[in-house]
Structure 1
Amino acid sequence: MKLSITTKVTLVTVFVLVGTMLLFAIINVGALKKIFLEEAINDVDNLSETLIRSTHYQMLEDDRKRVYQMIQEVGTQRGIEHIRLINKDGEIIFSTERAEIGQFLDKATEGCNVCHTKDTPLTHASSMNRSRLFDDKHGHEVLGMAKAIYNQESCSTAECHFHPPDAKLLGVLDVIVSLEGMRLQTATYRNNIIALSLILLLILGTCMSLLTQRFISQPLNQMLEQTHRIARGEWGEVQVESKDEFGELARSFNEMTRSLRQAQEELAQWGNQLEVKVEERTHEIKEMQSRLIRSEKVASLGELVAGIAHELNNPLTGVLMFSSMISSDPRLDPALKPDFDTIIRETQRCAEIVKGLLDFARESVPKKVPTSINDIMEQTLSLVEHHSSFHDIGIEKTYGEIPQIEADPNQIEQVFMNLLINASQAMGNDGKLSIETGIDARSNKIVVRISDTGSGIPPENLDKIFDPFFTTKGHKGTGLGLSVSYGIIENHGGDIEVQSTPGEGTTFTITLPLSSQEPSGEGEE
């Protein structure tokens, strides 16, 4: 989902504010709760001290009934759960909850273990250590405060008391008050903070959204809309009057637009003129080339193809027919059958070559099938390596891992055979023939290189070797091998190049497309 910059800025601001306010609320509520608890402890401690002092004289007079009445009246006040008096032996001698009067408290219980954790009980403890928080039987949180009643001099000398002067502690006044009020105050404060935070978030979010929309989104949207108009070819300027960074950006954008418009107008004008001239010249060149190539092909290959078809087809047909009859004759020596099979296969290949010449003369499209270039090269070598010109010639093969391509295997084999035989005839004895296949990563094409260590080709003949009937072999050659090979590779959408150094050797480089491609010009039947 695509979010606008206003939404993004608002969301980020809200998230930051929510996190900050949440942290503030947690710390503030925690601190407030601690303050309320400390105040509650001090209030209970003061209440206990007041209760002890207000009953002091009644205790000196041993007016226990009056003391218990005062405690009972204080215990009815709002917020006080109950009050109890505990003697030094742990017996509850009075409680606002009469059911627990006379019970003994375990020194390990909560409230007693503050002073009785060691072998020698503590006689003095701080109000925080003497306080305890727990839930009453109704599940409400309450605060308990144990206040020690010490043996003062007036207590040990009173006529009604029998406490010895060396006794330090006479008993404990335990006051338990409800914290419901503190909880309600804390909850109210927390809810107020939440409500205030939500109001602030709403106000700040609205302000941030409006400000972002006014000072950021609108200028950006104007420039974005202008870029769309420029992309459509509508030249205009952004109307941003602010003097901040967006204003400076708008002015720079407008200046860039004016420069682009001027440059486009100049390029369009120059391009129109150039395009007209190039189209005119290209059309003329194509027409001239087409006429020249077609006239040369028709003139040079027409008679040749007709003569080859007349002179070779009939003998080849006879050779093929009689070779097939002899090969299938049961009287034939089995040892000779492979030789006749070779004759039949080579005769068929000769017929295919004749047909290839006819197809080339008519610029026919090759019959492409999935073909392995490496396999075709191996098959061609197996045929030509027995040729007399290959005696004493070393062959070095470097095959790369290349995929199959769409090609006519018979035509590609004819190209390889022409190049291999030419290379062997150029080297003579003790030559070295190098064959390399691979893929050119830059052009994404299959590359086949055939290099020899022969006599090389003179520079003046390099531009003529692919012309029909051009040959340096005298009456031994027809000058059609390289011309036919060039046409085959061209019809496969590829290219064939030659590099040669006289006295050092020659390299033919064939490139073929990996994917199926149509040749640059379709032939005519």
Structure 2
Amino acid sequence: MAIFAYINIETLEEIFLQEAVSDAENLSEAIIKTTHHQMLDDDRLRAYQMIQEVGTQNGIESIRLINKDGRIIYSTRDDEIGTFVDKKAAACNMCHSGATPLTHASTMNRSRFFTNAQGKQVLGLAKAIYNEESCYTAKCHFHPENFRVLGVLDVVVSLDKVMAITSSYRYKFTSLTVFLLLLIWLSITLCTQALVSRPVKQLLKHTNLLARGELNSKVLTSSSDELGELASSFNTMTISLKKARDELEDWGRNLEVKVEERTHQLKQIQDQLIRSEKLASLGELVAGIAHEINNPLTGILVFSSLVGDDPRLNPELKDDLEKIRRETQRCAKIVRGLLDFARESVPHKIPTQINDLIDASLDLVTHQSSFHDITVVREYQHTLPQVLVDPNQIEQVLVNMLLNASHAMASGGKLTVATGLTCGDNRLFVSISDTGCGIPEENLGKIFDPFFTTKENLGTGLGLAVSYGIVESHGGNIEVQSTVGVGTVFTIRLPLPSDGESVEHSTGRSDADMPSSAVL
């Protein structure tokens, strides 16, 4: 705006000066036209009087007539009449700068601006008086025809009015420019304060609060521009930080519980790994032991039977011989359990409806005397998909666990069998829960170990170990939860077949493939 104001003032001043030069040009032309006839009549006195009258007008400093020799033949200032002008002066230099004087020059080149003796700014304009045809044909002609310029009319006018108008305009335009600059500065300051400074201060204050950990503050958003979006982002960040801090505090409060949970999970995984390694090593060991003691047991059982049927046997010895045969059969049962535990038979998997398999298992065991005072509750999910399992092996697992549950409820109780799908993974579960005596916590990690049993003279301690191996060979797992005096829950989890999975028939050994000595 300052540059615009400067250019505008300079242009206006130039225009005013051009107008002043034009007015001086018109004044000179009017004087020449007015005195033309007096000059033709050689009435110089009348012509000088007319020039004198024009020179008395306001704003005209002086009017001079200069002949071609440079002598002032008339002037409104008497002291100049008869004197000569300097042709090298500013007023004459334009036409007389060369060897031959110019006969024509532009208006601006014939004008000059200077300060007179009184210190006033004035404009001088020199206008040539040409030797026209009416001049050299007049009766009183003084100059021959070949003279082109008869003289010069030099007019000097005051520039006080032009300078006053220019100064007034300069003052007004400068004042307006300053006022506009102040107005724009004030507007920008207020807008910046309202739209930038105040929101930035709020953001800075909010940042300081965040640095002190105060996450409940919120930046007020009053606009939808970039600063408004930034304030919204700050609020979103504050919410996220508060949520993260709350989560960290919650983690800190519950860290001990979570550590205990993770420790318990790791202990369970470790127990499973130890159990798997133990079962694998024991399987190899018992396979050899069972094979070695099976033949002697067969001989003892055969010959004890023969001796028992011999009439020569003393009747008093028959009870002792019957006890030998009974204990031998018990040893044979243990051997069969060892063989079942050691034998790694590949499951013959076929699509099976697990609910039907559970019903078949219950039909096998519910007629036994241990189930007389037990109520069986079936909680099936009837929309279960089929699973790929070996029905005989899974039935063996189910029968074993059902019998164990009945033995835990010697005085009666409730046996609940539930089925369903687990959340989060592609698995099916079978839950067998009883209201029996429960398992002590120190025994929970041992129940799947071979030969571990709490039943005196009722089991070999191989049932759960064999069941664990069968379920593991199907890609599943067995979990147990128990409370002493409340009951026990065994949960079998089996994987569901993936899309496109086909039924694989194993070629593992069966009982028919075993040596006769191994099947007692």
TM-score when normalising by structure 1? 0.47
TM-score when normalising by structure 2? 0.47
Q: Which structure is larger by alpha-carbon Rg, 1 or 2?
A: 2
